[in-house]
Structure 1
Amino acid sequence: MSMQHNNIVLVGFMGTGKSTVGRFLAEKLSWELIDTDHYIEKQEEMSIAELFTKHGEVYFREIETRAIQSIMVKSNQVIATGGGAVLAEANRVCLKENGFVVALTASLETIIQRVGGDRNRPLLLGKAAEIVPQLLQKRKHAYDFADYTISTDRLRIEFIAQRLLVAYRKQTKG
């Protein structure tokens, strides 16, 4: 791992806690929190859901790759990525070369509980219980490239952050 940049990158399926853990970590480290979805919404001046509806997923994924490349040139950031950001190899390479990549996982039950009522998730179309298991299966190995993996089921955020920082410091020393 080259680690030119001090960045911690959170990847994982929707509802695994990337935004929540990201906020906590950024505060703890006094780093900037960058949520790639929010970053894209600001740049495009529309919501992710609108982007999907107006331009489709392919267009969105292209913008997402450009956004990730711009974000990853900086340092001292906690980056919370969109759930599908890791699907493109270019994104995985860029994230890993410029940061410590942490995959957050959660059980199917936890994910459905967390995202079930969320209207801002274009891929779910309000049918979380049906769609989440299919997507999870499809993306089963999408997060395997991460430097570190931790489950967020029934764990306190402080505990997750602490475990993650220990792993990060170990890796940056070596």
Structure 2
Amino acid sequence: MKNIVLVGFMGSGKTWVGKLIAERTGMPLLDMDSIIVERAGKSINEIFADEGEAHFRKLERELVQELAQTEGNIISTGGGIVLNPDNIADFEKTGLVVCLLVDAESVLDRVRNDDTRPLLAGDKEKAIVELLESRKPLYEAVTHKINTSGRPFPPVQTAEEVIALYNTFNS
């Protein structure tokens, strides 16, 4: 059984959609950020502060290589996973990669009170717009995409769309 790999900008709904898919399919959900935090013994903010973003991306890359070897999992990635094209290529070998697209306004609504995102320190709105704009071509390059902008919470419709895509892909 192939994996379902959810990619997309922070606040696009990867973790929530992953949880809903797991509930409906019985497949285990592997949240990459949670795994990295657990293994490092510190938060992502602390990893960024202590070792820098490059170190975090190295940990992320190593985990991609490990998880791409598995089968039958739902993998929720961090928003920056697309920065290294090898990550997407590796995941596509063993799974369906779905990018959850989102606009800046929806992201701001979803992460406004979230202080756990190191790349949004300072002016959140400005950081979201700039970061999203710089990564947009990378997200758009993913073959399978679902736009989650303005969708109601919880993201049941998005989860159902991913499952339908997976059933077609996995048959």
Check whether TM > 0.5: yes
What displacement does 1:139 show?
0.3
Compute the displacement of 1:144 (Å). Answer: 2.8
The Cα of 1:21 is off from its aligned counterpart by 0.4
Deviation at 1:147, TM superposition (A): 3.3
Quote the residue 1:89 is aligned against.
85
Kindly provide the amino acid, as one letter, of the partner of residue 159 in structure 2.
Answer: A
Instruction: Give TM-score scaled by structure 2 length.
Output: 0.93
Alignment of 1:89-168 (within 5 A): 89-156=85-152, 157-168=155-166
The Cα shift of 1:158 comes to 2.1
CA RMSD of aligned residues (A): 1.3
User: After TM superposition, which residue ranges in structure 1, 4 or more long, deviate above 4 angstroms?
Assistant: none
Task: Tell me the alpha carbon deviations over residues 37-58 of structure 1, each in whole angstroms, 9 at most, x when there is no partner.
Answer: 0010111111111000000011
By how many angstroms is 1:148 displaced?
A: 1.4
Q: Which residue of 1 aligns with 2:16?
A: 20
Q: Does 1:76 align with 2:88?
A: no
Structure 1 SS opposite 2:29: strand
* Aligned partner letter, 1:11: V
Q: Distance between the aligned counterparts of 1:37 and 1:124, measured in 2?
A: 16
Q: Percent identity?
A: 35
Hey, what's the Cα distance between the residues in 1 that align with 2:23 and 2:140?
Answer: 27
1:63 aligns with 2:55: no
CA contact (8 A) 1:96 1:146 kept: no
Per the alignment, residue 51 of structure 1 pairs with 47
Mean CA deviation greater in 126-135 or 36-45: 126-135
Amino acid corresponding to residue 16 of structure 1 in structure 2: S
For structure 1, the residue ranges without an aligned partner over 5 or more in a row are: none
1:8 corresponds to: 4
Which stretch of the first structure deviates more once superposed, 145-154 or 132-141? 145-154
Relative to the length of structure 1, the TM-score reads 0.92
**Aligned to 2:119, what secondary structure does the other structure show?**
coil
Higher helix share: 2
SS at match of 2:145: strand
Deviation at 1:127, TM superposition (A): 2.0
| Matched residue count | 169
Q: Confirm whether residue 170 of structure 1 aligns to residue 168 of structure 2.
A: yes
- Partner amino acid, structure 1, of 2:168: K
